[in-house]
């Protein structure tokens, strides 16, 4: 028994068949411990997104096992896996994270609404989360009134709000200029250090990956190098 | 609350599209309301004319007199019997009647007629016979100076026999006891028009008809008017229980042909409406589907962060219901004054419609809760149905694909 947040065992994810078979993820066995700040790096098409989707329960492996906080997430029903994601995993995507018709506050509040948290508690936590990511005054703005960096911070705040075991971020800085990207990473790193939040994010930006405490190199779907620093 | 907010803001995103969708549903709704109002209103009118003319709301006979009228099938017409019927809650008036076929003679001419014996005073309270007198005087049961009783004729009888007010009329028939019945009467009134159902009838005062038929103290029929025409079914039931030896029929059975053709016409109308609403909702379905496809990425995010598929489908349902509710709101505002106008003023028909001998020259609308509520239910039901395919579609969005970040 381990208390690993993520444990994959020989997980594979293939797309297509025959001539067009793509081995997007091939025999990946990794373990992510609580409190780690891990970057998955590798060239475009190396399988970073696919791996993040697998460990986030957004996609099902072709073979192998994915365990999240000790639970095998294969064979969960639609509602079960939804609830599992809601309560255990935070997501930050490359872009278009936010619901355009909801304000920053409401975007954060939404996930707690799904969790059934009462109104006053929800609103209090929304303010705490906005403060954590340094957007105290911008809560009432709609996504289109926020810069790209601010939008990504709201996405991080939303991911934090549900008290997940881990936050998965797929190229969270790819659409940002490097300064803004580094600032976002600093916010994430800070949450990792002060709140012991476990992060796994993918990137191919050198400056970004240098902030990670662990680097997982991928090539052609396989992990070729795994270093803790 | 947040989900409602989300749904509401979503439908405000594409205002023009929302307005068009709402208006098309509004159109369907208003059309339904108008059609419901006019068919129900007209038929209510027709039913009123029909029941008031002669059928009454409920008829009481002995045994199967309604299907097989035979002179001897009579009800003992005692004051207690009348009182028992009249005292049933909801019964407004009661008219006793006797019927028999007869031959009518005047001079050298003769014609077959139907004799209807009515109580002059009670008949006034139950049918429109009094109002249908076009010439002469409504009769009573007294002898005139020459010792004759009065008769009122349908216009067809008067024309066949070429007689008029004040002329003599000889009636010959068979009495209830098998004897030959014959007597002379004086015409005091002509009733109805050439289209009336009673153009070949001869009306006699009840006691006179009973004497003619040797049918003392008996009648063939009680015709009843109710205080509330919608209570026919209920009161028929309670009368049937109270009068176990008699047969109680609502007007729908008495005039089954008319009632069935009316119901068929209503069904046809409803079906046409259903088709129109269906077509409206094909458009709505298209719009909702389009709005779902445009938001694939958003649904992907909503699902990724933990919304259940049912929540997403629910969101689409709420959005569609909101659109429908807005349509209904606008629809009621538009339909109410139009229907009120139809109900209060009505529209004159260019050619009066002849319904079973009853002329019907005005079309009035019905203004009631049902006229607004039934189409509302219809629209809501369609809105629910129409939100199912897009709802399923949205609920099934794959979060990875939606993110498009592979
Ligand atoms: N849904 C899919 N269908 C087919 N091929 C896919 C799909 N998702 C990913 N792939 C393929 O899998 C490989 C890995 O993709 P991805 O995980 O997105 O890499 P990365 O995120 O590292 O750029 C690529 O060759 C990609 O084309
Ligand atoms: Mg990727």
Q: What is the mean pLDDT of residues B45-69?
A: 88
pLDDT band, very low/low/confident/very high, at B406 (cuts 50, 70, 90): very low
Say whether pLDDT at B387 is over 60.
yes
Among A53, A108, A171, pick the best mutation site for testing chain B contact (most B Cβ within 10 A): A53
- H-type alpha helices, A19-162: 48-55, 78-88, 104-114, 119-132, 148-161
Say how many C-beta atoms besides its own lie within 10 A of residue B27's C-beta.
Answer: 17
| Mean pLDDT, chain B, whole residue set | 90
Find the CB nearest A58 among B10, B307, B399: B399
Q: How far apart are CA B385 and CA B278, in angstroms?
A: 11
The pLDDT of residue B359: 63
Whether A10 has its CB under 8 Å from any CB of chain B: the answer is: no
Could B309 and A111 be called an inter-chain contact, meaning their C-beta atoms sit closer than 8 Å? no
Q: Which residue of B has its CA nearest to A79?
A: B308
* pTM confidence score: 0.81
- Asked if residue A45 has its Cβ within 6 Å of ligand 1, the reply is yes
Q: Which of B269, B265, B160, B138 is nearest to B205 (CA)?
A: B138
**Cα(A53) to centroid(ligand 1), Å:** 11
Could A83 and B399 be called an inter-chain contact, meaning their C-beta atoms sit closer than 8 Å? no
Q: How far apart are CA B233 and CA B250, in angstroms?
A: 7
| B270 Cβ contact list (under 8 Å, min separation 6) | none
Q: What is the mean pLDDT of residues B48-73?
A: 88
**Cα(B238) to centroid(ligand 2), Å:** 78
Which residues lie across from A72 on neighbouring strands?
A67
Find the CB nearest B2 among A98, A109, A159: A109
Q: Which of B85, B70, B57, B52 is nearest to B246 (CA)?
A: B85
Quickly list DSSP for B105-147.
EETTEEEEEEEEEE-HHHHHHHSSGGGGEEEE----SS--TTS
Could A94 and B3 be called an inter-chain contact, meaning their C-beta atoms sit closer than 8 Å? no
- Asked if residue A138 has its Cβ within 6 Å of ligand 1, the reply is no
Which residues lie across from A187 on neighbouring strands?
none
Give me the CATH topology for the region A6-228.
Answer: Rossmann fold (3.40.50)
Contact pairs from chain A to chain B, CB under 8 Å: 87
**Cα(A35) to centroid(ligand 1), Å:** 28
Q: Which residue of B has its CA nearest to A85?
A: B306
- Asked if residue A53 has its Cβ within 6 Å of ligand 1, the reply is no
Phi, psi at residue A170, to the nearest 5°?
A: -95, 105
Find the CB nearest A101 among B10, B304, B305: B10
Whether A49 has its CB under 8 Å from any CB of chain B: the answer is: yes
Whether A116 has its CB under 8 Å from any CB of chain B: the answer is: no
Could B301 and A100 be called an inter-chain contact, meaning their C-beta atoms sit closer than 8 Å? no
The pLDDT of residue B153: 93
Which position has the higher pLDDT, B238 or B145?
B238
Quickly list DSSP for B360-373.
EEEE----SHHHHH
Whether A171 has its CB under 8 Å from any CB of chain B: the answer is: yes
Q: How many CA atoms lie within 13 A of A200 on its CB side?
A: 25
**Cα(B402) to centroid(ligand 2), Å:** 13
The pLDDT of residue B346: 80
Quickly list DSSP for A26-75.
EEE--EE-TT-EEEEE-STTSSHHHHHHHHTTSS--SEEEEEETTEE-TT
Say how many C-beta atoms besides its own lie within 10 A of residue B337's C-beta.
Answer: 9
Could A114 and B307 be called an inter-chain contact, meaning their C-beta atoms sit closer than 8 Å? yes
Q: Residue A92 in contact with residue A167, Cβ under 8 Å?
A: yes
Reading the block at residue B196, the tokens are 């009336």
Q: Which of B65, B129, B121 is nearest to B93 (CA)?
A: B121
ipTM of the complex: 0.93
Could B306 and A113 be called an inter-chain contact, meaning their C-beta atoms sit closer than 8 Å? no
Q: Is B142 exposed, middle or buried (0-12, 13-18, 19+ CB in 10 A)?
A: exposed
Say how many C-beta atoms besides its own lie within 10 A of residue A124's C-beta.
Answer: 11
Q: Which of B50, B93, B44, B369 is nearest to B227 (CA)?
A: B93
**Cα(A173) to centroid(ligand 1), Å:** 19
Q: How far off is chain A from B16, nearest CA to CA, in Å?
A: 17
| B147 Cβ contact list (under 8 Å, min separation 6) | none
Q: How far apart are CA B305 and CA B298, in angstroms?
A: 11
The pLDDT of residue B355: 56
Among A62, A99, A218, pick the best mutation site for testing chain B contact (most B Cβ within 10 A): A99
Q: How far apart are CA A91 and CA A88, in angstroms?
A: 10
The pLDDT of residue B288: 94
Could B301 and A96 be called an inter-chain contact, meaning their C-beta atoms sit closer than 8 Å? yes
Q: How far apart are CA B223 and CA B243, in angstroms?
A: 14
Say whether pLDDT at B381 is over 70.
yes
Work out which ligand 1 atom sits closest to the CA atom of A53: 17
Q: Residue B262 in contact with residue B49, Cβ under 8 Å?
A: no
Q: How far apart are CA B80 and CA A15, in angstroms?
A: 92
| B348 Cβ contact list (under 8 Å, min separation 6) | B361, B362, B363
- What string of pLDDT tens digits covers the 229 residues of chain A? 458 899 999 999 999 988 899 999 999 999 999 999 999 999 999 999 999 999 999 999 999 999 998 889 877 888 899 999 999 999 999 888 899 999 999 999 999 999 999 989 999 999 999 999 999 899 999 999 999 999 999 999 999 999 999 999 999 999 899 999 999 999 999 999 999 999 999 998 888 888 899 999 999 999 999 998 8
Q: How far apart are CA B382 and CA B380, in angstroms?
A: 5
- Residues of A within 8 A of B13 (CB-CB) are 101
The pLDDT of residue A1: 45
Work out which ligand 1 atom sits closest to the CA atom of A47: 17
Reading the block at residue A75, the tokens are 């064979």
Strands B201-205 and B109-118: parallel
pLDDT tens digit sequence for A162-182: 999 999 999 999 989 999 999
Whether A13 has its CB under 8 Å from any CB of chain B: the answer is: no
Residues 71-90 of A with CB under 8 A from B: 78-79, 82-83, 85-87, 90
Among A40, A73, A93, pick the best mutation site for testing chain B contact (most B Cβ within 10 A): A93
A191: three-class secondary structure by DSSP: helix
Q: Residue B56 in contact with residue B224, Cβ under 8 Å?
A: yes
The pLDDT of residue B262: 87
Phi, psi at residue B138, to the nearest 5°?
A: -60, 135
Going from N- to C-terminal start, the domains of chain A cover 6-228
Reading the block at residue A172, the tokens are 């969270």
- H-type alpha helices, B223-308: 232-242, 251-254, 256-294, 296-304
H and E: helices and strands count for chain A: 7, 11
């Amino acid at each position: 028994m381990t208390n690993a947040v993520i444990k994959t065992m020989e997980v594979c994810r293939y797309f297509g068949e025959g001539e067009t078979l793509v081995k997007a993820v091939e025999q990946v066995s990794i373990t992510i411990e609580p409190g780690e700040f891990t970057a998955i790096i590798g060239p475009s098409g190396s399988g970073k997104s696919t791996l993040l989707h697998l460990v986030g329960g957004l996609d099902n492996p072709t073979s192998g096992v994915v365990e999240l906080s000790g639970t095998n997430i294969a064979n969960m029903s639609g509602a079960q896996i939804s609830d599992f994601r809601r309560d255990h995993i935070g997501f930050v995507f490359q872009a278009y994270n936010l619901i355009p018709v909801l304000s920053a506050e409401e975007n954060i509040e939404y996930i707690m609404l799904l969790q059934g948290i009462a109104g006053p508690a929800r609103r209090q936590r929304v303010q705490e989360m906005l403060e954590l990511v340094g957007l105290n005054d911008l809560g009432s703005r709609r996504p289109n009134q926020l810069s790209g960096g601010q939008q990504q911070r709201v996405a991080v705040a939303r991911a934090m709000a549900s008290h997940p075991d881990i936050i998965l971020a797929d190229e969270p800085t790819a659409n940002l200029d490097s300064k803004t990207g580094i600032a976002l990473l600093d916010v994430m790193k800070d949450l990792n250090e002060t709140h012991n939040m476990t992060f796994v994010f993918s990137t191919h930006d050198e400056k970004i990956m240098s902030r990670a405490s662990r680097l997982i190199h991928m090539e052609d779907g396989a992990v070729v190098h795994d270093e803790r620093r | 609350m947040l989900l409602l907010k989300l749904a509401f803001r979503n439908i405000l995103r594409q205002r023009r599209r929302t307005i068009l969708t709402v208006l098309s549903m509004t159109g369907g709704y208003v059309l339904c309301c108008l059609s419901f109002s006019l068919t129900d209103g007209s038929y209510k009118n027709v039913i009123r004319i029909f029941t008031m003319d002669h059928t009454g709301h409920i008829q009481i006979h002995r045994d199967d007199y309604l299907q097989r009228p035979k002179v001897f099938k009579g009800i003992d017409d005692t004051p207690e019997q009348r009182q028992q019927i009249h005292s049933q809650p909801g019964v407004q008036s009661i008219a006793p009647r006797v019927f028999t076929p007869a031959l009518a003679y005047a001079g050298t001419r003769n014609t077959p007629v139907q004799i209807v014996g009515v109580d002059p005073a009670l008949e006034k309270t139950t049918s429109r016979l009094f109002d249908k007198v076009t010439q002469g005087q409504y009769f009573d049961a007294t002898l005139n100076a020459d010792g004759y009783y009065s008769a009122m004729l349908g216009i067809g009888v008067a024309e066949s026999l070429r007689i008029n007010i004040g002329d003599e009329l000889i009636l010959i028939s068979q009495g209830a006891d098998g004897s030959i019945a014959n007597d002379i009467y004086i015409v005091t009134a002509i009733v109805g028009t050439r289209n009336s159902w009673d153009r070949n009838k001869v009306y006699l005062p009840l006691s006179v008809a009973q004497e003619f038929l040797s049918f003392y103290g008996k009648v063939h029929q009680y015709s009843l008017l109710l205080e509330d025409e919608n209570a026919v079914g209920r009161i028929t039931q309670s009368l049937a229980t109270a009068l176990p030896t008699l047969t109680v029929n609502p007007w729908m059975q008495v005039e089954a042909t008319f009632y069935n053709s009316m119901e068929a016409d209503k069904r046809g109308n409803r079906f046409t409406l259903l088709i129109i609403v269906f077509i409206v909702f094909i458009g709505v379905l298209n719009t909702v589907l389009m709005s779902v496809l445009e938001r694939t990425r958003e649904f992907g995010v909503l699902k990724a962060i933990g919304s259940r598929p049912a929540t997403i489908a629910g969101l689409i349902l709420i959005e569609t219901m909101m659109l429908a509710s807005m349509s209904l709101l606008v629809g009621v505002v538009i339909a109410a004054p139009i229907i009120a106008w139809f109900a209060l003023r009505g529209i004159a028909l260019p050619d009066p419609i002849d319904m079973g001998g009853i002329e019907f020259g005005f079309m009035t609308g019905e203004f009631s809760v049902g006229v607004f509520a039934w189409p509302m239910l219809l629209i809501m039901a369609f809105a629910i149905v129409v939100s199912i395919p897009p709802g399923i579609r949205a609920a099934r969005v794959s979060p990875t694909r939606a993110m498009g970040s592979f």
